[in-house]
Amino acid sequence: MTQSRRSTILSIAWLALFTTALGAQTNGQGPKGPTTIGVITIETGGSADYGTYTKNGLELARTEMRDGGIRLVTKDSKENPQEAVRVFKELQAEGAPLVIGPFTSTEARLVGAEAQRVGMVMITTSATADELGTIGDHVFMMLPPNNRQGSDQAAFARDKLSATRAAILYRQNAYGLSLRAGFVKTFKAKGGQVTREEAFPDNAEEFRDHLRVLAAGRPDVLFIAAHDKDTGRILRQAKEIRFPATKFLGGDGSMSPAMIELAGDTAEGSIFSNVASLDPNFNRLYRERFGTDPSGYSATAYDALKIVGELVQKGITTSQGLQKALIGLQGHAGASGLTKFTRQGKSYWCLDKQYRQYEVKGGKFELIK
């Protein structure tokens, strides 16, 4: 065998070995090391506290699992959908078979489409916009769709609070729009009147103007479809302008310690919906570890990683395997209630989880029984 032929065979052998290793790596199953699980959340910018809730929930789960053969790689989306897709591709290149996140529905819409295209699995622990259901079977939501949440709050306003006139203030993004749509549909169907709706853009901090317009309709309730900081400021500013509504209602995006901190005593009596059971044991663990109360999103992130961790422990480490296992999940009882994925549209939701109403009393969220 000549020198040049030997070199050629060696080169081909190296190339084959390298390609095999690369293939194994991109499927998330390196020969020995832990499985890479990607996390996309918001670490910087105006909504960075949401990222903190998610990361804290994941951290708690990771500690309990003692890593469990998982290497978590967290990327910052900066609440920017394009950036979320970019970091998703980085995670794909790092061999992650599954991504937990991104946080907002606007980001999840684009990342979900990309995950579907490349055959990776996306589990969002917080995004709930209805249109996520149109993406595909690699997209999993830890919560039920927003439409149902808005609808439940409308039914609560009509049936329990006997409200006949409602005003709506919503953030103009996928989350706010779908929450608003669910509320309007059910409130009107139950004979209520929506006096006026006002939208505001992302990162708005001044709402007095919108509130004055809404106040003119003399609503019985004001439904706020917004993020937690928005709601905190809205409640404070509503008091400042002497807003006439007797009750303020909101969704899970508003239900966080940051909202209470910003709103102060003006949050008292406001009602928010959430699926999280806020399990006392989870609450205690979280408080001991981080010194604050958890958000519902900490609970969903905690459960998501626990579920993925259990699957990885069983040796399921490919995108295809994880997707099938998630679809077949018989029900995981965790901090956010029972997680069982059911197909609605093209994607999978936790339809078994029920939204429940929590009232702010003494600066804490108390379940309304």
Partner 1 sequence: MIPSIVDGVIASSAVVCLALAYGITYGMLGVMDLTLSARFASAAFASWWVAQTFYASKNPVFAPAVWIGAIGGATILTVLLWMAMAPLTRRAPLVVLIGSLGLVTMTEAGFQAVFGTTAKVFTGYPTETGVFFMGTTATPLQLTAAGYAILAVLLTAIVLANTGFGDKLHAIAEDPEVARCVFGLNVAKLTRQAILFTALLIGPAGMLYAVSHGATAVTGHNFGLIAFISTIVAGRRRPLAAAGIALVLTVLGTVFTRWNMAEWIAFTTVTCSVVIMAHQLIQRRKLTVRARAALYGTALVGGIVLAEALANFALRTLPEGGQSYHIPSAYQPLFPYLVIGVALLWRPKGIFADSKERMV
Q: Name which of 119 and 244 has its Cβ closer to partner 1.
A: 244
Of the pair 236, 346, the CB lying nearest partner 1 is at 236
Distance CA 53, CA 48 (A): 9
Q: Considering beta carbons, is residue 295 or 347 the nearer one to partner 1? A: 295
Distance CA 112, CA 135 (A): 7
Dihedral of alpha carbons 310, 312, 316, 319, sign: positive
**Nearer to partner 1 by C-beta: 268 or 352?**
268
Under the binding rule (CB under 8 A), the answer on residue 364 touching partner 1 is: no
> Is there binding between residue 205 and partner 1 (CB under 8 A)?
yes
Q: Which is nearer to partner 1, 207 or 349 (CB)?
A: 207
Listing DSSP states for 66-130 in one string gives: TTTTEEEEEEE-TT-HHHHHHHHHHHHHTT-SEEE--SSHHHHHHHHHHHHHHT-EEEESS---G
* Residues in region 256-285 near partner 1 by CB under 8 A: 257-258, 261-262, 264-266
Measured from the CB atom, is 229 or 356 closer to partner 1?
229
Binding mask 208-247 for partner 1 (x = CB under 8 A): xxx-xx---x-----------x--xx--xx-xxxx-----
196 touching partner 1, by CB under 8 A: yes
Q: Which residues contact 300 (CB under 8 A, 6 or more apart)?
A: 57, 125, 126, 142, 143, 276, 335, 336
Phi and psi at 275, nearest 5°, equal -90, -20
Q: Which residue in the set 103, 140, 187, 200 belongs to the binding site for partner 1 (CB under 8 A)?
A: 200
| Cβ-based neighbours of 5, under 8 Å, separated by 6 or more | none
Tell me if 188 contacts partner 1 by CB under 8 A. Answer: no
Q: Which is nearer to partner 1, 26 or 125 (CB)?
A: 125
Q: Which of 7, 203, 342, 354 binds partner 1 (CB under 8 A)?
A: 203
Please report how close the Cβ of residue 29 comes to partner 1 at its closest, in angstroms. 35
Cβ neighbors of 61 (< 8 A, separation 6 or more) are 301, 302, 303, 305, 306, 309
Tell me the C-alpha distance between 58 and 46, whole Å: 21
- Residue among 24, 110, 155, 199 that touches partner 1 (CB under 8 A): 199
Instruction: Report the SS3 class of residue 294.
Output: coil
For partner 1, the binding residue among 191, 201, 280, 328 (CB under 8 A) is 201
**Residue among 49 and 130 whose Cβ is closer to partner 1:** 49
Number of residues near partner 1 (by CB under 8 A)? 40
| Length, in residues, of the chain | 369
Of 121, 139, 204, 322, the residue at the interface with partner 1 (CB under 8 A) is: 204
Q: Which is nearer to partner 1, 286 or 348 (CB)?
A: 286
> N- to C-terminal Cα distance for the chain?
84
Q: In what order do the strands lie in the sheet with 121-124?
A: 70-76, 35-41, 98-100, 121-124, 139-141, 347-349, 342-344
Q: Considering the complex, what minimum distance in angstroms separates the CB of residue 43 from partner 1?
A: 8
Q: Which is nearer to partner 1, 159 or 240 (CB)?
A: 240
List helix spans (H) across the chain.
Answer: 3-26, 48-65, 81-93, 105-118, 146-159, 174-189, 208-215, 228-240, 257-263, 280-290, 296-313, 319-327
For the bound state, the minimum distance from the C-beta of residue 52 to partner 1, rounded and expressed in Å, comes to: 5
Is position 172 an interface residue for partner 1 (rule: CB under 8 A)? yes
Q: How many CA atoms lie within 13 A of 251 on its CB side?
A: 34
> Closest distance between partner 1 and the C-beta of residue 56, in Å?
11
Q: Interaction with partner 1 in 24-83: which residues (CB under 8 A)?
A: 44-46, 48-49, 51-52
Residues of the shown chain interacting with partner 1 in the complex, contacts defined by CB under 8 A: 44-46, 48-49, 51-52, 172, 196-201, 203-206, 208-210, 212-213, 217, 229, 232-233, 236-237, 239-242, 257-258, 261-262, 264-266
